[in-house]
């Protein structure tokens, strides 16, 4: 079912994924996800981010100045070390707290307690880190709900950031992709993977790589699987452009194959 631009915007607005607590309820007009579909999405995201491993639930990637936690590799900055990417771990903690879910004390610190990767590695096998990984491994559902809620809260922000002449097309592309569970996985995973594309700091040579750029770069296709396949193709183009424009010191070429493989999962049935 197609939804007018204004109606969809009103239906979705009011849930910022980072500054407020998003909700995992289905957005009006979008097909609801069954429990089994949400489980499948959570497992795919865990595989995408952590190779499905428990140890991968607490990571500090080479070349980064922050740890990544959970199935969605939520970013958590150390005190006094903000970076160019949107921090998502504190928002996840608030999401859990709003639902009365107890978390380990380590998870609720204001800032990541490790100043650098070396400190993180030294602490990796400590009791508190093992407790955190065990908690994350046993709370996949709430992490999946958070990622879904964050994705579904994104569209009004995309429309506000997009040029007025592009808003109807971006909305139409979002609706087309979201018309199948396969497409909803693509939207959910990509926002978690590379963000919404709104943050002006998330640019290389003026070009972003988030959901806004992927939806804006899609070719005209029909609803259904074709839309998910075109989303996958557009995401691949956007991420290849990011790598091509990235500072050489970041060494992003090493990620091209893995990122391409991840985008290809969007073109396959859930």
Under 8 Å CB-to-CB from 46, ≥6 apart: which residues?
52, 71, 140
Measured at the CA of 150, the angle between CA 149 and CA 153, to 5 degrees, comes to 85
Q: What is the DSSP letter of 19?
A: T
Q: What is the rounded distance in angstroms from the CA atom of residue 200 to the CA atom of residue 85?
A: 10
C-alpha closest to that of 198 among 242, 159, 228, 235: 159
Check: CB of residue 73 under 8 Å from CB of residue 84: no
Collect the ranges in the chain with pLDDT lower than 50: 1-21, 23-26, 28
User: Which pair of tokens denotes residue 238?
Assistant: 């956007």
Going from N- to C-terminal start, the domains of the chain cover 5-267
Number of H helices, E strands in the chain: 12, 3
Neighbours of 77 (CB within 10 A): 17
pLDDT at site 17: 34
3-state secondary structure 35-103: HHHHHHHHHHHHHHHHCCCCHHHEECCCCCCCCEECCCCEECCECCCCCCCCCCHHHHHHHHHHCCCCC
**Among 270, 265, 180, 173, CA closest to 224:** 180
Per-residue pLDDT at 2: 33
How much is the pLDDT for 25? Answer: 44
| β-sheet bridge partners, residue 207 | 204
For strands 58-59 and 74-75, give the pairing: unpaired
Q: What is the pLDDT of residues 116-152, one digit of tens each?
A: 999 999 999 999 999 999 999 999 999 999 998 888 8
pLDDT of residue 3: 32
Q: What is the pLDDT of residue 29?
A: 55
How far apart (Å, rounded) are the C-alpha atoms in residues 200 and 202?
5
CA angle 68, 74, 79 (to 5 degrees): 70
Q: Are 245 and 209 in contact (CB under 8 A)?
A: no
pLDDT in the model for residue 14: 31
Alpha-carbon distance 41 to 74, whole Å? 16
Q: Which residue has the tokens 């100043």?
A: 115
Note whether 177 and 231 are within 8 A (CB): yes
**Helix, coil or strand: residue 187:** helix
What's the confidence (pLDDT) of residue 211? Answer: 97
């Amino acid at each position: 079912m197609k939804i007018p631009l204004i109606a969809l915007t009103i239906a979705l607005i009011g849930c910022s994924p980072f500054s407020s607590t998003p909700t995992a309820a289905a957005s009006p007009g979008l097909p609801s996800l069954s429990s089994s579909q949400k489980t499948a999405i959570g497992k795919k995201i865990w595989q995408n981010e952590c190779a499905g491993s428990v140890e991968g639930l607490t990571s500090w990637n080479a070349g980064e100045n922050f740890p990544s936690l959970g199935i969605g590799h939520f970013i958590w900055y150390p005190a006094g070390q903000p970076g160019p990417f949107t921090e998502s771990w504190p928002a996840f903690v608030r999401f859990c707290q709003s639902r009365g879910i107890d978390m380990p004390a380590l998870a609720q610190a204001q800032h990541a307690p490790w100043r650098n990767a070396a400190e993180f590695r030294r602490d990796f096998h400590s009791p508190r880190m093992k407790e955190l990984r065990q908690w994350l491994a046993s709370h996949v559902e709430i992490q999946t709900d958070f990622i879904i809620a964050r994705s579904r809260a994104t569209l009004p922000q995309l429309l506000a950031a997009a040029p007025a002449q592009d808003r109807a097309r971006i909305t139409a592309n979002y609706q087309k992709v979201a018309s199948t569970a396969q497409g909803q996985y693509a939207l959910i995973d990509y926002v978690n993977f590379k963000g919404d594309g709104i943050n002006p700091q998330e640019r290389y040579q003026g070009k972003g790589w988030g959901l806004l750029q992927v939806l804006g770069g899609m070719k005209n296709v029909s609803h259904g699987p074709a839309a998910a396949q075109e989303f996958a193709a557009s995401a691949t183009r956007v991420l290849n452009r990011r790598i091509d424009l990235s500072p050489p010191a970041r060494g992003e070429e090493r990620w091209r194959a893995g990122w391409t493989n991840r985008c290809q999962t969007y073109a396959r049935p859930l």
